[in-house]
Amino acid sequence: GQNIDQPTEMTATEGAIVQINCTYQTSGFNGLFWYQQHAGEAPTFLSYNVLDGLEEKGRFSSFLSRSKGYSYLLLKELQMKDSASYLCAVRGSNYQLIWGAGTKLIIKP
Amino acid sequence: NAGVTQTPKFRILKIGQSMTLQCTQDMNHNYMYWYRQDPGMGLKLIYYSVGAGITDKGEVPNGYNVSRSTTEDFPLRLELAAPSQTSVYFCASRSKDRVQNIQYFGAGTRLSVL
């Protein structure tokens, strides 16, 4: 079967760093996406990895290891507005996205 | 730039009623998708379309129908609504570029079937 696992909820402090992990088992791999979703809103694109390694975009970085079926999203200098759910999605062999259930990130002052 | 627009934003249906969720995009994207999102679950693909006149089933198509008569519009039809269809529905679109394949989402339709 196909499976994507993320922690259900994480808590971090404003100004700190947090790492959200995602592990996957899918039939085929054509890229991994991270999306941010604020409560009651639509998911918005954050990052895309298709090759192993780290992709950096400002305060956000995403890492991929295809051999381990593992990715993480790293958020630095956390701000209150980063309180949201973070969705991991893998593009499988049929080019459709398979979505994790999301990680709810709570930022405390 | 409007992007992906969904209507209505909220709707309450009685069991057995029907309705159409509207989705339109102004980015000239070939690919369009309908997802549902339930609490504690990942987004589930209902139907998708790779271009006008072409639609295909996703993971959870039962109880739904779609059509794609134009590039811009991709309505989702619920026939004989059931409580199990209570969910948040998202429409998404992307270009046919296979390199990055970013999907852009509408704001969602929150549907309750009572």
- Res B30: pLDDT: 94
From chain A, the residues in CB contact with B101 under 8 A are 30-31, 48, 91, 95
**pLDDT-derived band at B100, boundaries 50, 70, 90:** low
* Residue B73: DSSP 8-state: B
Are A42 and B58 inside 8 Å of each other by CB? Answer: no
Q: Which of A8, A41, A89 sits opposite B107 (nearest CB)?
A: A41
- Among residues of chain A, what percentage have pLDDT more than 70? 100
From chain B, the residues in CB contact with A41 under 8 A are 107-108
What tokens does B56 get?
Answer: 């295909």
Q: Which residues pair with B20 in a beta bridge?
A: B77
Using alpha carbons only, give the angle A43, A44, A46 rounded to the nearest 5 degrees.
Answer: 125
From chain A, the residues in CB contact with B105 under 8 A are 42-44
Q: Does A46 touch chain B (CB under 8 A)?
A: no
CB pairs under 8 A between A and B: 45
With CA atoms as reference, report the closest residue to A50 among A3, A85, A95, A103.
A95
Contact by Cβ (8 Å): A87, A37: yes
- Classify the phi-psi angles of A15: left when phi > 0, otherwise alpha if psi is within -120 to 50, otherwise beta: left
pLDDT at A14 over 80: yes
Residue A90 is which amino acid?
V
Distance from CA of B43 to the nearest CA of A (A): 6
Q: Is the dihedral of CA B34, B32, A45, B21 positive or negative?
A: negative
Instruction: Give the model confidence (pLDDT) of A49-81 as tens digits.
Output: 999 999 999 999 999 999 999 999 999 999 999
Distance from CA of B4 to the nearest CA of A (A): 10
Q: Over chain B, what is the mean pLDDT?
A: 94
- Res A94: pLDDT: 83
Q: Does A4 touch chain B (CB under 8 A)?
A: yes
Residue B64 is which amino acid?
Y
What tokens does B15 get?
Answer: 């069991």
